[in-house]
Amino acid sequence: MRMVLLGPPGAGKGTQAAAIKKRFGLAHISTGDILRENVKSCTRLGLAAKRYMDAGRLVPDDTIINMMRERLREDDAGSGFILDGYPRTVAQAEELGVLLKEMGLCLDTVVLLEISDDDVVGRLGGRRVCSNCGAIYHVAGHPAEKEGICDSCGGSVIQRGDDMESVIRERLAVYHAETSQLVEYYEKRRLLRRVDAAGPTDAVLTSIESPKVIM
Ligand code: ADP
Ligand code: ZN
């Protein structure tokens, strides 16, 4: 199965993707994670992307498109994938369509996680992540057992710079300006399913397990 997860920052794309990956053994491909790894190890890509990420703006399309062209050709993507954070613009969506066509593949489904802006600010403002393994915590909903220390790997649990409220508001503005056009784009192609992001954590799994989708 090849699917795209859409939704504003904080809708829970990463969490849902992890559950789907576990159930179906798909590759979980997160552009945000790939970019952050590149920033961490100071690659050319990371250096080019960092200032956009820190400001909550989108990294330019050609940079992202080249990065994903390589990523989608790696072996693990061959048996299916979940795209988390890509595409983010109509240009990226068109490019993804071209690339999949070249590979003789197509998308099976696009899931839109719906959530209000205020709920996003509540979720992301309290989000903390493990700087070592990427585990996600929330100061109110799911704190680490020992403050600042990851339950699973002992790494340090921090707040991402782009989870500061002013940057969250900017990310939401970018989402409404650019990414929300993808809803219409995929609706026209009859690929879109809407899922309430405030609902049960397995809501996406339930949605894609409905009989229409062939694994
Ligand atoms: P979010 O929680 O906002 O969905 P991500 O972890 O997916 O954040 O992405 C973090 C940052 O990486 C974005 O704010 C943006 O700067 C950059 N980024 C990620 N994916 C893309 C993309 N497909 N196109 C452009 N920029 C991207
Ligand atoms: Zn950890």
Angle, CA of 75, 37 and 138, to the nearest 5°: 110
Q: What is the pLDDT of residue 34?
A: 95
pTM for this one?
0.84
**Is 24 touching ligand 1 by the criterion CB < 6 Å?**
no
Question: How many CA atoms lie less than 13 Å away from 70 in the CB half-sphere?
Answer: 8
3-state secondary structure labels for all residues of 124-180: HHCEEEECCCCCEEECCCECCCECCECCCCCCEEECCHHHCHHHHHHHHHHHHHHHC
Task: State which residues form the domain around 34.
Answer: 2-206
Domain count of the chain? 1
**Does residue 72 belong to any structural domain of this protein?**
yes
Residues in the 5 Å CB sphere of ion ligand 2: 130, 132-133, 135, 150, 153, 155
Atom of ligand 1 nearest to the CA of 53: 16
The pLDDT of residue 36:
93
Instruction: Tell whether ligand 1 has an atom less than 6 A from the beta carbon of residue 8.
Output: no
Please check whether residue 211 lies inside any domain of the structure: no
pLDDT digits (tens, 9 = 90+) for 151-162: 999 999 999 888
36 is an active site residue: no
The verdict on residue 121 lying in a domain is yes
Do residues 186 and 110 touch, judged by C-beta distance below 8 A? yes
Count CA atoms within 13 Å of residue 17 on its CB side.
26
In this predicted model, what pLDDT tens digit does every residue of 162-171 receive, in sequence order? 898 999 999 9
Ligand 1 within 6 A of 32 CB? yes
Confidence of residue 39 (pLDDT cuts 50, 70, 90): very high
Q: Is residue 212 part of a domain?
A: no
Q: Is residue 214 part of a domain?
A: no
pLDDT score of 177 more than 80: yes
CA–CA distance, 25 with 1 (Å, rounded to integer): 10
Query: Per-residue pLDDT for 191 more than 60?
Result: yes
Whether 57 is covered by a domain: the verdict is yes
From 36, 88, 123, 128, active-site residue: 88
Round to whole Å and give the CA distance between 32 and 102: 25
127 is catalytic: yes
Q: How far is the CA of 79 from the centre of ligand 2 (A)?
A: 27
13 labelled catalytic: yes
Report the 10 Å Cβ neighbour count for 90. Answer: 15
Question: Residue 212 pLDDT more than 70?
Answer: no
**What CATH number has the domain bearing residue 163?**
3.40.50.300
Q: Are 6 and 186 contacting, i.e. CB atoms less than 8 angstroms apart?
A: yes
Q: What is the mean pLDDT of the chain?
A: 91
134 assigned to some structural domain: yes
DSSP E strand boundaries for the chain: 2-6, 27-30, 81-84, 109-114, 127-130, 136-138, 157-158, 192-196
Mean pLDDT (whole number) for 112-137: 93
Q: Find the ligand nearest to 136 CA.
A: 2
